[in-house]
Amino acid sequence: MSKLVFIVLFWAAVLVLSAQLGLLHHAANGGDSAWATYKEGQSEADNLPSSDRFRDRTPRMVADMTKTMLRYGTFTHVLAHAPFPYSGKYEDSNVNFFDYIDPQTGQRFHTNRYGERFSEHDHYGDGRVLFHIPPHFDPERPFVYVVFFHGIFSEVRQCVRDYRLDEQIDKSGKNVILVAPQLAKNAADSSPGKLFRRSAFRAMMQEVAGVLARRLGNEHRAHLEGAPILLVAFSGGYKAVGSILDRGGTQSRIKGVVLFDALYADVEKFEKWIRHRSGKAFLIDIFTTGACEENSRVLSSQLLRHQLHFSTDWPSRISKRGIYLIRSETDHMRIPIEGPPSEPLKEILRNLRM
């Protein structure tokens, strides 16, 4: 039994038990005589003794509470426009994404940059997208999508648990919805699948809005379709974010990019986006040693050449036009949870003016 179902059943049982105790109390204290006060315009149900009113309303209260609880929390949904399954070319090349077919089984494989092959069936067929709606979320107020792209050798649910992304969003207290697509599943591959295609991310976010409108109410659909977006990548998730910045079709909606030790390549795509969106969106790049440090150094040189200033310190308040290149001594795999600062996504959201 899932945790959510258990909680719903528990509170339903509490309400039913409370109603029964109310009935006993009512019987022990003289029945209806103590509740003979009527007011003009009251419904028949409102004129009943309190225990009877509670008994009559218990099923409705349980149903309303269940409906509310099921609107929020963490769930996954298979989307037609999710990054995978994918069949086509690798980025802008003439090379088929599935570049090897097993002559015995007919199964297709993708070869990564290290020459390792990963089967379509085991690694590239998962169209799930994870959603997390925090308990304090209010669809009537302005909100932001946090779209998170995981690294290599990952499964999206496990990644969200490992880095407590749902908890970080809850603790931030901000009006945000987490959206985390499954990329290549448990494979040493950062390919973004359909996100190679122009405007594919826009199509995915349109579908995301549809899923959420059915859950939160269709009256919120216009807001859900146009809400601003914060892109977050850990490690190999950079490839998806780079493709979105280059061709995703949502430029005006992207309010910020956060890289958790993720600038492994595609520096030119990030630099181009910063120049074109200067003053309208922020970048936070937390990097450690190796390729990400070297590419962050290259990026800083390009920014200076274009007279775009940046900070190397963690901001107390994130400016909508800020550029922050921050070196970290934390182990690569711990960056999304330890930063610094600790629980960096939570701190970014707290310091962000929505």
pLDDT given at position 16: 39
Q: Which helix (H) or strand (E) holds 110?
A: strand 108-111
pLDDT given at position 20: 42
How many CA atoms lie within 13 Å of 257's alpha carbon, on the beta-carbon side? 29
Contact assessment for residue 231 and residue 254, using Cβ atoms and an 8 Å cutoff: yes
Q: Is the dihedral of CA 103, 104, 110, 113 positive or negative?
A: negative
Q: Which helix (H) or strand (E) holds 129?
A: strand 128-133
pLDDT given at position 71: 83
Give CATH for domain 72-350.
3.40.50.1820
pLDDT given at position 152: 98
What angle, rounded to 10 degrees, do the helices at 3-28 and 50-71 form?
170
Rounded Cα gap, residues 347 and 283, in angstroms: 15
User: Per-10-residue mean pLDDT for the chain, 354 residues long?
Assistant: 46 44 40 36 43 52 50 96 97 96 97 97 98 97 98 98 98 98 98 97 98 97 98 98 98 97 98 92 97 98 96 91 96 97 97 82
pLDDT given at position 26: 42
pLDDT given at position 331: 98
Long-range contacts of 99-108 (CB under 8 A, 24+ apart): none
pLDDT given at position 55: 55
Give the number of other CB atoms < 10 A from CB of residue 306. Answer: 10
Q: Where are the domains of the chain?
A: 3-29+45-70, 72-350
- Kindly compute the dihedral angle of the four CA atoms of residues 342, 132, 146, 218, in this order, to the nearest 10 degrees: -160
